[in-house]
Structure 1
Amino acid sequence: MAHQCSCGDTHNDAELGVEYNLYQKIDIRNVECLNEYEENSGITVFKSWENRLDKENFVESDVDDELLFNIPFTGNIKLKGLIIIGGENNLHPNKVKLYKNRPRMTFDDLSIEPEQEFELCVDANGIHEYSPKIVKFSSVHHLSLHFTGIDRRERIKIYYIGLKGEWLPAHRHGVTICSYELQPQMSDYPKENIENIDRTIS
């Protein structure tokens, strides 16, 4: 089915539902959302494509119009697409900045240059895709998203964050413990060799 968002283009959502499944690869218990008005409401915006239009679950900012998500994954992802459904009217976020592999970011860390940023359009149907540069987001184990509002409004609201891409399990390297002896020990030699050495010395 075709829909139109505020960007002026018409989008078809026929195949998007199959592709937007990376929410299943998020380490959801370790997701952080800073400046959320209601505790643990940030994790509710990562949901299935079929539930993206659900308005019962959302996150709203607290003291100002900023939200910062720290999103760890259960492996490595190649991020290929991003969809945002924001709040109505002035509650809609205006911009998002993407940071790669910087766990536990805080608002104090936002002076760092993001890998990419997008101006957000109003997209009530969740069909406008933002395309990250794959060369920058080809090996991501942690993604931080910083949202800000329009003209520094008091609050912003988000209903859905959709992520599209590929997932690979994390490589786990075993630890090999080796011990080295600087000098050979007498116990390393057979008993008969030790007796021969003693005879030679005497």
Structure 2
Amino acid sequence: MSGCGGGHGHDHSGHGSCGDGHEHTPPELGVAYSLYTRIDVDNVECLNEAVEGSGKTVFKPWEDRLSREKFVESDADEELLFNIPFTDNIKLKGIIVIGGENGHHPSKMRLFKNRAHMTFDDVNMTADQEFELHPDPSGTLEYTTKVVTFSSVTHLSLHFPSNFGEETTKIYYIGFRGEYTKAHRHGVTICSYESTPQMSDHKDKVLDKVGKSVM
């Protein structure tokens, strides 16, 4: 499958945005790639990370994308699996991945929508979208997602199954472009509890009576 979901080719000069064929200036991308602020970072999971908690560090501001201070590296083999919950409903339009040098850069990325707490036992299922990645140390290649598929995302899993030949995979930055709408999941949860108080009250009373009769 082409690295660009929309079927456009990569700019072989290494510049420009993969997907729409146009070059974006960093300020424009900096604004567009602000969805990291909608990630529930405390609950991000990264499976097969060599250093615990390092997977969370790759979701950072656009202006820090070229920093090499924080990164995640795989442990047992080249695979990495991210489980990324969002605080709001996301319409995901594009992804940029800055991987490690030489063969440490991931060569493939698989996306799964709204499937929380995936494990490596789950990655054999059909992905919602897949991309063949290209080494991109400067963060200039964008992988365009299918907006219809990723129009209402509350959780995103990213599976990186392979790299370009090294034993481990390294990733410095993963950026998301798109839009968000405020989620009201807490309100819905409260309403669902309030819709069944009589039943729970009734159960409590029954238990009380049983308890008293036993005594």
Number of the residue aligned with 2:12:
8
- Tell whether 2:44 aligns with 1:31: yes
Number of the residue aligned with 1:136:
149
CA distance in 2, matches of 1:179, 1:61: 51
CA gap 1:155/1:139 in 2 versus in 1, 3 angstroms? same
Q: Which has the higher strand share?
A: 1
Structure 1 unaligned residues grouped into runs of 5+: 1-5, 181-202
CA gap 1:151/1:89 in 2 versus in 1, 3 angstroms? closer
Structure 2 unaligned residues grouped into runs of 5+: 1-9, 17-22, 200-215
Q: Answer whether contact 1:7 1:121 (CA < 8 A) is retained.
A: no
Q: Which has the higher helix share?
A: 2
Counterparts of 1:172-183 in structure 2 under 5 Å?
172-173=187-188, 174=191, 175-177=194-196, 179=198
Moved over 2 A (4+): 148-153, 175-180
Classify the secondary structure of the residue corresponding to 1:18. Answer: helix
Q: Answer whether contact 1:54 1:159 (CA < 8 A) is retained.
A: yes
Comparing 37-46 with 9-18, which one deviates more in the overlay?
9-18
Q: Which of 93, 109, 116 matches 1:103?
A: 116
Please tell me whether Structure 1 or Structure 2 has the larger radius of gyration of its CA atoms.
1
CA gap 1:178/1:58 in 2 versus in 1, 3 angstroms? closer
Classify the secondary structure of the residue corresponding to 2:121. Answer: helix
Provide the TM-score with structure 2 as the length reference.
0.77
Q: Which of 57, 65, 71 matches 1:52?
A: 65
Q: RMSD between aligned alpha carbons?
A: 1.6
Query: How many residues in Structure 1 have an aligned counterpart in Structure 2?
Result: 175
- Tell whether 2:62 aligns with 1:62: no
Number of the residue aligned with 1:149:
162
